[in-house]
């Protein structure tokens, strides 16, 4: 490497340390470096363009992956994502997100894995291994404590040393040490007074203690200084081409404020990354075979089913016997339009998305499924879907005097360009983008047609001006708000059945990132009518499936949740449907915990997360017993909102006042609605003895006492009643999965790493093992421990 660097002057070297554009890094032929492309992550690989014509395989979201407790499966999915990266020319995936589920109010909860550092570390490491074995870099993010979104750019997370080490840094440590990721992303926020792009944790802990040898890149627009961040262990400023380094860094080096050796060090890391992903002359990256679409579908279908958590199943209602099903009512707001992924930068545009209605129709036949929408849960306008456009939309890219620079045909109403426009369109010459379309939903009644985005919009409907206005986000809005929660304006349009309206929507271009939507909302029937209809459909069916869930207004990036209650009148819908049909299954389509005040009053509840593009097929498989609902909760589902850690900073500071007592580790407080680790599956398990195995583990005997083969996740929790160190009442110390045929007895070894028993000693500045014995108990969840022993770790 040093000889390559010697070929470059200071300016050329510094240029490489800021992105070339929104997603890519600069090429430098003088050192044999080609362009390196990054992309989000983690539910798929978007690629450089946000465009429905270049779809991306959509995997279940991270909470679902953690719910599998299955590293082999997640590693395979990492391989699938790596193949997607290669197909889309991506070298660096901006995943996994391993911030912890400190509070279920966090907007990006769905994008993180678990409340538990051990589970997060193991599942995150598996994804990293799967990606990197195929020559694609993983980017472990966001280092550290970006555990909620409110004021994420500026908040100072105040975290005690033990909580920081034992919880928030722990999964980063496990993954860096165990899976050697090639990149880490520094978070927006500060921790204990240092903004993360300048934090001593980068130099002292990430590199110094753990030996991280990859690239530390900033989160997008997170770098705030020149000399301070360059003097820290930050290697790459994203995105580009502008930023606080560039010429300012060259000047800082010349003025002696930043040593040139610091620049060289960053560049060496960048070239190492280039070599690893095959972007440097002569480097041989690991090969990846493409995945045919049928294999992608099969893998995603199996993964979704493996993540579903059967929360309740009274009287073994599930699985349903398909021979006894002449008619099934599939109702609820997420029944026909399921959420397959969460919002924000994690969004990808899948080639298709199988809803629960689609999945059950495919399994049972069209005639066997009746559907009702239930209630309305969204208050914002949605982008026009392909089905709502009569033919494609025509986009015109306009220059001075409205000269048409280029046109393209698009099959949806969501558009985004991050500085790069279609061929022939020079960003500096672009003045406006115009969408011409004919829209209609087929339904009769009052629709809403509108626009979302920031800046000036002009909407004409059937040749008449509807509005010409500037839409502005609130002054303190997150920079991501233009994507995540843009301002909107809609106008009512009454259409007859089958009717449509001509739309011309013009948006003036004012900056490099252009993102907006053409919105169409179909007429809505009042909730009272829809609830009554859903109950009626349920009453006349052999079984009722109510699919409830969250929306993009609730779970996304750049804001947190205001409440954990299901949006709209969904709780009422559930109660009404369950009262109408005793064979009611509630399917919860959410990436994070929601309140379920009706849990004890419905026979069966299945939690499906954001299940990816095969969600509906996987749901049919599980409801009909073709597959096991394999998931176990990666996070405690609280019974209410009281006592949960807050995501609201006060005067710019977010106190992690609960310290090490998070999730299933919490002290006191109301019992969980569903404990961490919970998940019934379709068979029953009888636990026998647990014994220390003489090394760093225990052996647990158990028997599948149910009627089917199954997979059990044997969880081992530690506790220490008599020690001098303050500790959570119990914590996950290890886990292992085991499969067994019906009736079979099996033994499983659960490794309990020494770290599971150590605590961070603030005075020693090190992890320390308190001498003596710990209690360890194995069971089905943190709330269902079946056998116990004592163990003195070595």
Contacts with ligand BGC by CB under 6 A lie at 40, 94, 141, 219-220, 345, 480
Provide the minimum distance between the beta carbon of 159 and ligand BGC in the complex, in angstroms, as a whole number.
19
Nearer to ligand BGC, 96 or 374 (CB): 96
Annotated catalytic residue: which of 40, 51, 219, 358? 219
Angle between helix 570-580 and 527-539 (nearest 10): 30
Measured CA distances, 20 to 17, 242, 557, 618 (Å): 9, 8, 25, 41
Nearer to ligand BGC, 480 or 568 (CB): 480
Nearer to ligand BGC, 359 or 480 (CB): 480
Nearer to ligand BGC, 345 or 452 (CB): 345
C-alpha angle 470/476/479, rounded to 5°? 75
Provide the minimum distance between the beta carbon of 140 and ligand BGC in the complex, in angstroms, as a whole number.
11
Nearer to ligand BGC, 152 or 755 (CB): 152
**286 by DSSP, 3-state: which?**
coil
Q: Are 36 and 24 in contact (CB under 8 A)?
A: yes
Number of helices (H), then strands (E), belonging to the chain: the values are: 17, 34
Instruction: To the nearest 10°, report the CA torsion of 332, 333, 339, 345.
Output: -150
Whole-number Å distance between alpha carbons of 616 and 635: 23
- CA 433 to the chain's CA centroid: 31
Measured CA distances, 621 to 180, 319, 596, 704 (Å): 37, 9, 24, 21
Measured CA distances, 475 to 454, 510, 649 (Å): 12, 17, 18
Query: What sections of 31-100 are H helices per DSSP?
Result: 62-68, 71-87
Measured CA distances, 389 to 413, 460, 717, 762 (Å): 8, 16, 54, 61
**DSSP secondary-structure letter at 725?**
S
Whole-number Å distance between alpha carbons of 517 and 520: 10
Whole-number Å distance between alpha carbons of 210 and 169: 11
Nearer to ligand BGC, 455 or 480 (CB): 480
Provide the minimum distance between the beta carbon of 97 and ligand BGC in the complex, in angstroms, as a whole number.
7
Provide the minimum distance between the beta carbon of 89 and ligand BGC in the complex, in angstroms, as a whole number.
17
Nearer to ligand BGC, 120 or 781 (CB): 120
Q: Which two tokens stand for residue 558?
A: 């750049």
Q: Are 673 and 717 in contact (CB under 8 A)?
A: no
Whole-number Å distance between alpha carbons of 34 and 274: 8
Q: Are 733 and 793 in contact (CB under 8 A)?
A: no
Per the listing, tokens 């994070």 go with 592
Nearer to ligand BGC, 139 or 307 (CB): 139
Nearer to ligand BGC, 280 or 454 (CB): 454
Provide the minimum distance between the beta carbon of 120 and ligand BGC in the complex, in angstroms, as a whole number.
16
Nearest to ligand BGC by Cβ — which residue?
345
Whole-number Å distance between alpha carbons of 61 and 589: 11
Nearer to ligand BGC, 94 or 482 (CB): 94
Q: Are 578 and 531 in contact (CB under 8 A)?
A: no
R_g of the chain, CA atoms, integer Å: 27
219 as an active site residue: the answer is: yes
Whole-number Å distance between alpha carbons of 112 and 105: 13
Whole-number Å distance between alpha carbons of 519 and 385: 9
Provide the minimum distance between the beta carbon of 234 and ligand BGC in the complex, in angstroms, as a whole number.
15
Can you give 426-491 as a three-state secondary structure string?
CCCCCCEEEEEEEECCCCCEEEEEEEEECEEEEEEECCEEEEEEEECCCCCCCCCHHHHCCCEEEE
Nearer to ligand BGC, 121 or 344 (CB): 344
- For residue 790, count other CB atoms closer than 10 A to its CB: 10
Nearer to ligand BGC, 220 or 245 (CB): 220
CA nearest neighbour of 108 among 514, 484, 383, 417: 484
Whole-number Å distance between alpha carbons of 472 and 72: 47
Q: In what order do the strands lie in the sheet with 685-692?
A: 685-692, 697-704, 745-751
Residues 6+ apart with CB under 8 A from 669: 643
Provide the minimum distance between the beta carbon of 267 and ligand BGC in the complex, in angstroms, as a whole number.
23
CA nearest neighbour of 148 among 775, 654, 732: 654
Provide the minimum distance between the beta carbon of 333 and ligand BGC in the complex, in angstroms, as a whole number.
28
Provide the minimum distance between the beta carbon of 61 and ligand BGC in the complex, in angstroms, as a whole number.
13
Provide the minimum distance between the beta carbon of 482 and ligand BGC in the complex, in angstroms, as a whole number.
11
Provide the minimum distance between the beta carbon of 416 and ligand BGC in the complex, in angstroms, as a whole number.
11
Enumerate the active-site residues.
219
């Amino acid at each position: 490497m040093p000889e390559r660097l010697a070929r470059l002057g200071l300016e050329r070297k510094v240029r490489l340390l800021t992105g070339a554009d929104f997603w890519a890094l600069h090429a430098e032929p003088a050192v044999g470096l080609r362009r390196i492309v990054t992309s989000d992550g983690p539910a798929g690989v978007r690629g450089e363009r946000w465009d429905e014509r270049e779809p991306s395989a959509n995997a279940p979201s991270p909470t679902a992956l953690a719910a599998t407790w299955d590293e082999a499966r997640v590693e395979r999915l990492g391989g699938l994502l790596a193949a997607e990266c290669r197909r889309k020319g991506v070298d660096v995936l901006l995943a996994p997100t391993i911030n912890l589920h400190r509070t279920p109010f966090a907007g990006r909860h769905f994008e993180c894995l678990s409340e538990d550092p051990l589970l997060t570390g193991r599942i995150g490491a598996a994804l990293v291994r799967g990606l990197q074995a195929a020559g694609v870099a993983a980017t472990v993010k966001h280092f550290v404590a970006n555990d909620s979104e409110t004021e994420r750019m500026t908040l100072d997370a105040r975290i005690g040393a033990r909580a920081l080490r034992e919880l928030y840094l722990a999964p980063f440590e496990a993954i860096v040490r165990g899976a050697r990721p090639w990149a880490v992303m520094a978070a927006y926020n500060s921790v204990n007074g240092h903004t993360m792009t300048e934090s001593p944790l980068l130099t002292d802990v990430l590199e110094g203690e753990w030996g991280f040898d990859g690239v530390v890149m900033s989160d997008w627009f997170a770098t705030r200084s020149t000399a301070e961040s360059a003097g820290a262990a930050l290697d790459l400023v994203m995105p580009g081409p502008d930023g606080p380094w560039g010429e300012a860094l060259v000047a800082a080096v010349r003025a002696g404020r930043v040593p040139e050796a610091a620049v060289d060090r960053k560049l060496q890391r960048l070239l190492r990354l280039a070599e690893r992903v095959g972007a440097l002359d002569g480097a041989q990256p690991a090969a990846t075979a493409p995945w045919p679409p049928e294999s992608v579908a099969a893998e995603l279908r199996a993964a979704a089913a493996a993540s579903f958590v059967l929360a309740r199943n009274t009287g073994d209602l599930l699985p349903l016997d398909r021979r006894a099903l002449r008619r099934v009512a599939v109702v609820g707001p997420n029944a026909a339009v399921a959420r397959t992924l969460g919002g924000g930068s994690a969004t990808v545009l899948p080639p298709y998305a199988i809803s629960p209605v689609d999945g059950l129709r495919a399994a049972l036949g069209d005639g066997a499924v009746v559907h009702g929408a239930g209630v309305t849960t969204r208050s914002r306008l949605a982008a026009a879907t392909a089905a709502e456009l009569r033919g494609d939309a025509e986009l015109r890219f306009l220059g001075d005097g409205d000269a048409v620079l280029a046109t393209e045909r698009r099959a949806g109403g969501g558009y985004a360009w991050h500085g790069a426009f279609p061929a022939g369109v020079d960003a500096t010459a672009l003045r406006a983008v115009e969408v011409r379309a004919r829209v209609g939903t087929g339904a009769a009644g009052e629709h809403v047609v509108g626009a979302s985005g920031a800046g000036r919009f002009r909407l004409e409907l059937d040749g008449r001006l509807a509005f010409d206005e500037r839409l502005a986000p609130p002054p303190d809005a997150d920079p991501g708000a233009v994507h995540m929660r843009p301002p909107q304006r809609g106008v009512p349009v009454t259409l007859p059945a089958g009717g449509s309206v001509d739309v011309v929507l013009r948006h003036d271009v004012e900056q490099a990132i252009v993102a907006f939507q053409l919105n169409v909302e179909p007429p809505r029937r009042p909730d009272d009518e829809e609830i009554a209809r859903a109950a009626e459909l349920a009453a006349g069916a052999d079984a009722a499936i109510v699919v409830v869930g969250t929306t993009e207004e609730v779970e996304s990036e750049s804001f947190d949740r205001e409440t954990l209650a299901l949006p709209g009148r969904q709780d009422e819908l559930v109660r009404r449907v369950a009262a109408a049909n005793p064979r009611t299954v509630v399917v919860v389509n959410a990436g994070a915990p929601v309140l379920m005040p009706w849990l004890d009053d419905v026979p069966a509840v299945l939690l499906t997360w954001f299940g990816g593009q095969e969600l509906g097929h996987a749901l049919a498989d599980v409801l009909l017993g073709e597959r096991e609902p394999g998931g176990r909760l990666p996070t405690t589902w609280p019974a209410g909102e009281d006592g949960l850690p807050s995501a609201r900073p006060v005067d710019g500071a977010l106190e992690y006042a609960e310290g090490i007592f998070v999730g299933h580790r919490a002290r006191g407080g109301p019992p969980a609605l569903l404990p961490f680790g919970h998940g019934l599956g379709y068979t029953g398990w009888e636990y026998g003895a647990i014994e220390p195995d003489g090394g760093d583990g225990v052996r647990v005997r158990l028997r599948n006492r149910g009627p089917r083969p199954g997979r059990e996740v044997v969880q081992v929790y530690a506790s220490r009643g008599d020690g001098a160190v303050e500790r959570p009442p119990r914590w996950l110390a290890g886990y292992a999965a085991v499969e067994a045929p019906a009736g079979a007895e099996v033994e499983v070894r659960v490794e309990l790493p020494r770290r599971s028993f150590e605590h961070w000693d603030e005075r020693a500045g090190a992890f320390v093992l308190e001498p003596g014995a710990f209690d360890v108990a194995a069971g089905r969840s943190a709330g269902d421990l079946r056998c116990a022993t004592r163990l003195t770790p070595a």
